[in-house]
Every structure is written in structure tokens, then in C-alpha cells.
Amino acid sequence: MKGTIFYIYIFREISDCISFLLQNLSEMNRLWIRMQHIGAKDKAQREADRNELNMVVGENIVRLSNLEGVDLETYKTSVLPRLFELIHGCKDPISQQYLMDCIIQVFSDDYHLHTLEKLLDACTNLHNSVDIKTIFITLMDRLANFASSQGNEIAAVDKEVNIFGLFKKFIDKILDEQGPIMELKKLIELQVAFIRFSIRSYPTRIDYINEILDSAVKIMQIQPSKNITEDSLKSLVKLLTIPLDTLSLAVLNMSHFPTLMQYLSPGLKKAVAKQILLALVNTHTKMKDLDIVQKLLAFINPLVEGISGEDEAKDNLYEFEETQTNIAKIVHLVTCADPKLQLEAILKIKDSFSKGTINRMKFTFPSLVWALYRLGSSIIKTKGETEAEADDDVPEATPEELALRTKIFDLAYQTIEPILAAQPEMCLKLLLQGIQTMSLNGARSEEGEKMAALYMNRVMTIYQEEIADSDAKYKAITLIIGALVKTRLFSKENFVALARKITQFCAKLLKKQDQCKAVLMCAHLFSFTKDYVKMKY
């Protein structure tokens, strides 16, 4: 090798240096190939000798790349064509694989961009035993990293040559020629690498992602069922989940995404659904129309409804709760401009959540109730709601708005009922919050009082029948008194009747100290009755 370095320095022409190195490379490569069958009798020793010579072959390519005279033009016209002649002439798959990998790893990414078509064409003309998938993945990963650091360079080259189009052209060629004989997992992994490259190099081109998914659909359609293994489906999961981090809900509008989902087993569908859910929650993506809400619900259905035969008790409790909590969060990401559309979206979500078991609904239904309260409070701002707004020119609520508001709070009441057995204390708090929300957002009316009375009667029933622990009862009665103090929806007579009933409950608490404190709090209720009608909240 020292002799090789000496000869490089004595050559005056760069072409002579290139010719010498390539000739040396060719001879070493032939020797390397022959050593598979000759040399030491011991196979382990023979392989050790081959590995040593393997490094020498690679070092020649490294020296080629380090020559100062090897610029882009020289590389395109002299170096690369002669390297391809050497690769295609040796006919040995192991050698071809190694030399192609060396070229990709050693020479500049900028050179690869400007000779991409030649490089890809050479890859497709290799021996059938060569793992072309690995070569393509290595090349795409290098160019994707280059795009992340030198995006302007990629954009400049892309104006002259469609880089994505070239990759698509030659990958499709591989699929046509080797698709029937190549392992399905390798085919999908090639598409996975391609989609990674596209996202990193063209983050705004959603159409490119859809084209790759279209190719994946064609791959799956021609495969016999025996070829669709668990490993290949796991690779398919990667293909479906990689775009989620950057594109979020945009993937749901891609026509080929649902088609590929159909090939997955129930367990893998659940895994993809979790990734969709996490992408949505982490990016705080807003959903502004019903169509996207319906698509999302269809995709996350395995998480909402569960898998047939699934034993929830065997699931990791922390993971289960985290997933259901994330599902509950999607309700608050729906932001339709029209209150009627918002209500319709919430109803669709409620219908979907209702398909789950009580163990799931106790996490998801409270968020529905809060979303309904928020919607109800946003519909009406009546004139003189508060003292600060008494002089403002705020229009009175129309009968249609009042009817919609009543419908919303009635729906919220119905949503609380299914989870009452599982979470009585939570339901009591939700009902009390509903009463306060009604009081904040509407002047006293007959319809408002009826709805508030419905909520309060249910609160009393829960307190008497569902809550048994003495400490829990004390906490509950404290919350009831606090809510009633802030409520101005009841007439004076009804308010006094409620205050008396609550006082009776306080007197029946088990602990004397709880009785004293609770009855003392009730005194505040009666202090409000004197000027009840005149007071504003």
C-alpha cells in the first residue's frame, strides 16, 4: 500500500492517477472474488484474509475521492463510468454490493445529487442476488440528511432534475422486475425509507406521500396471503405511522391510507390508532369540519371500542388510562365555527364513545360533558349578565338560542347518567358545574329553573344513594352548598326549600365536627334569601 501512495505522487496528470487507482482496484477486486474459493483451506482463515483485502479495496475508493483533482465534472465523466464498468464486469453479487455501498458512502452527497439518475440506473442493473433495497435505503438516508442541512442545494438541483421522480421511477422498476421474487418485508422497508426521504426532503409535498402509499397498496394487492407475515405487517405499520409526526390529520385525507389499514391485524390497527391519536394530541391539531371528525373516529375505533375478545383487565393499567385520557382530549380539539355544527360533532363523538365499555366511558364521557358546558356557555350572552355588563349593549337571546341551549344542557345531563355507577362523586361534581354554568350564562327563566332543578334533584339522589363514606359525604355537601350559593336560577321559594333540605343533610352527618361546620356553611345560604331577587352574580 505504501507503494501505491508513492506512485500517486509521481504522476503529473490527474487522469493517470485515476487510471492507476482504478486498475489497482480492479486487480484487488478480482483477487478478492477468487479468494472465496482459493487460499487457506480453513474457511475461517480464508474469510479473515478476504476481510483484510476487502479493506484494501475500499481504501482505493477512498483515495479516489480524496484526490484534489477529482471535481464534479471529473467524477461524472471519468471516475463514475469506469467504476460502473468495474462493478458490472465482475458479475459477483457480494463484490457489486460492497463496491456500490463504498461509492455511496465515500463520495460527496453533492456528487450523488448531480449523478443520481446514473447511480440509480446502475443499481437496477446489478446481479439479482444483490440486496438493492439496502443500497437504495443507504442512498436515500444520506440524501435526506443532506437535505436537512443543505436544503437550498437540494432545491437548486430539484429545479433541474426531479429527484423524487427519479427515485420513484427506479423503485417502480425494481418492484416490476423483482417484486414477485423479493421478500415482502424488504419491499415494504424500501417504501419506508422512501417515505422518510420524502418527508425530510419535501416536508410540504403531501402528494408525494400519497404516491408512495399508492405503490404500497399495489405491492400488497399482488402478494399471496402466505407472504403477508407478521414481520411484513410491522414494516407496514412503520410506513403508516412515519408521516403522522409531520402531517398529523392530513394523512386521514389520503385515499390509500385506509386501504393499507385493512391489511393489518386488530392488534396492529390498535398500534397505528395510538400513533394517530398521539400525533393529534401532541400537535394540538384543530378539527374544524365534521368530515375529518368522522374519519378520525373511524381510525381510532379499536381504541374506543376495544378489540373483540380483548381482556381489559390484562392490559397495562397505566397505558390503558393514558390512551383513554388522550381519546378524551380529542373532544376539545373540535372547533367548528357554527354552534350547531359543533353540537353535531360532539354528538358523533358521543355515539362513538358509547360503543366502549364502562371502563372506557368513565374516562371519555366527562370530557364530553365539559365540551357541552363550554358550548352552552358560548351561545348566549344575555343583557346584564353581570354588574360589569349591565350598561353594555348586549342583545337578548333569541328563542332559537334558548332552545339550543336547553338542548345542550339536557344532552349533558344524559351523558352523565351512563357513568354514574362507576364514578358517583365525579358525576355529582359535573352536575354541580352544570348548574353554575347555567347560572353564569342566562337570566332567570322558567326553562332555566326547570333544567337547574333537574340537575339539583339528581345531585340530591346521588348524595343520598351513591355516596356512603362519611368523609366523602362531607366533601360532597360542601360542594353542594358552594354551588347553591353562586346560583341565581331558582325562585326565592325554591331556593329556601333547597337550603332547608341541605341543612337537614348536614345535621345527619356522622361526625359532630362535620355537622357543625356544614350547618355553619348553610347559614350563608339563608343570608342570601332576603335580597335574593335583587342580587346579581
Share of the chain above pLDDT 90, in %: 26
Question: In this structure, are residues 122 and 173 in contact, taking their beta carbons and an 8 Å threshold?
Answer: no
Reading the block at residue 83, the C-alpha cell is: 467504476
At residue 384 the predicted structure's pLDDT band, cuts being 50, 70 and 90, is very low
The mean pLDDT of the chain is: 82
In this model, does residue 372 exceed pLDDT 90? Answer: yes
- Report DSSP letters for 140-169, one per residue: HHHHHHHHHH-HHHHHHHHHHS-HHHHHHH
Is the pLDDT higher at 447 or at 55? 447
Integer CA distances (angstroms), 91 to 84, 99, 125, 128, 129, in order: 12, 12, 11, 10, 10
- Reported as a pLDDT band with limits 50, 70 and 90, residue 387 is very low
3-state per-residue secondary structure call for 507-531: HCCCCHHHHHHHHHHHHHHHHHCCC
**Domain 408-537, what architecture?**
Alpha Horseshoe (1.25)
Grade residue 382 by pLDDT with cuts at 50, 70 and 90: very low
Q: Mind listing the pLDDT tens digit for each residue in 198-255?
A: 888 888 888 899 899 999 998 888 887 787 888 889 999 999 988 887 887 788 888 8
Q: Does residue 9 surpass a pLDDT of 70?
A: no
Whether residue 383 is predicted with pLDDT greater than 50 in this model: the reply is no
Q: Say whether pLDDT at 314 is over 70.
A: no
Say if residues 163 and 205 touch (Cβ distance below 8 Å).
no
Of residues 50 and 386, the one with the higher pLDDT is 50
Q: Domain coordinates of the chain in residue numbers?
A: 265-379, 408-537
Residue range 13-24, pLDDT digits in tens: 666 677 767 776
Give the C-alpha separation, 451 to 435, whole Å: 8
CA 276 distance to own-chain centroid: 4
Quote the CA–CA distance of 449 and 37 in Å, as a whole number.
95
How far is 204 from 181, CA to CA, in rounded Å?
A: 34
- pLDDT computed for residue 7 by the predictor: 44
Q: For the segment 456-465, what is each residue's pLDDT rounded down to a tens digit? A: 999 999 999 9
pLDDT digits 0-9 by tens, 106-157: 888 888 888 888 988 888 888 877 888 888 888 888 888 887 776 666 777 7
Lowest-confidence region among 38-47, 162-171, 476-485: 38-47
What percent of the chain stands above pLDDT 70? 82
Between these two residues, 246 and 416, which has the higher pLDDT value? 416
